[in-house]
Structure 1
Amino acid sequence: MGRRARLVSLAALLGLGACASTPDAEQARICRRALPTLVPAGSRVAVLREAAGPQERSIRIDFSQERDGRSPLPRYAICQFSGMSRTDLSGLTSDRGPLGGAALYLLKHYYLDTPDAALAEPGAG
């Protein structure tokens, strides 16, 4: 294989890798909507970065927890999605640990699709 062909192949592989690490927009939206539930009342969330998570079908969001009179606190959340549907949130773990089964159920069924969740959703990073 010639030098030019190797460079073209390398560029193609890098391009595929970049696409694979781009989070799904709908999954990112669902994950962002969960972030306000991970911080104390009165705190603000600022999204710093969205990226593919450590497992297949997961997204990692780095964010800061902000409160008046305090320094921003760096945080992260990892949202895992099931193989049944690309938008079925199957797990949520933050720097404080995993969200329990009952809390995840309540989050999915009674919060994520509400107008309150849409209003509280922090912007994309």
Structure 2
Amino acid sequence: MRPRRLGLLAALLSLAACSGSLDPEQARTCRRALPTLVPAGARVTVLRTAAGPQERSVRIDFAQEREGRSTVPRYAVCQFSGLSRTDLSGLTSDRGPVGGAALYLLKHYYLDTPDAALAEPGAG
């Protein structure tokens, strides 16, 4: 009976490890959204990237830096749909959710542009 429990525990731990793994394409998509969350002229420095709190989500902790001002610690959580690995279905920051038209415009007119690629902060 005991070996069976150990096997079950090992299987559960293995599943938990898989669910917490980070998809590099999702992380890239989330990093590309970060500059849209800060004021114009602010610099974004990625501090940490990890699996988010929900399934198919990524959390990025970052610093917002502006000349003459203190560095502000921030975070963003990107949620991805089941349609494709990189279909952004939600974006929430420490200042609240990005929704409606803003999320639509971000997805359809910014994330896959050369401007987004140039503005993408490093992986940290």
Q: Which runs of 5+ in 2 are unaligned?
A: none
1:23 aligns to 2:11 (yes or no): no
Query: How far apart are residue 86 of structure 1 and its match?
Result: 1.4
- Alignment partners' CA distance in 2, 1:48 and 1:14: 27
Residue aligned with 1:108, SS: helix
Structure 1 residue identity aligned to 2:119: A
RMSD over aligned Cα atoms: 1.9
Give yes or no for contact 2:59–2:78 (8 Å, CA) kept in 1: yes
Question: Which TM-score applies when normalising by structure 2?
Answer: 0.87
CA separation of 1:11 and 1:66: change in aligned 2, threshold 3 A: farther
- Alignment partners' CA distance in 1, 2:17 and 2:74: 24
Residue in 1 aligned with 2:113? 114
Show the 5 A alignment for 1:54-93.
Answer: 54-93=53-92
Kindly provide the CA deviation profile for residues 67-116 of structure 1, in whole angstroms up to 9, marking residues without a partner as x: 11222100000000001111100000000000021000000110000100
Taking only the aligned residue pairs, the percentage that are identical comes to 80
Query: How far apart are residue 13 of structure 1 and its match?
Result: 6.2
Question: Which TM-score applies when normalising by structure 1?
Answer: 0.86
Structure 2 residue identity aligned to 1:68: E
Residue in 1 aligned with 2:40? 41
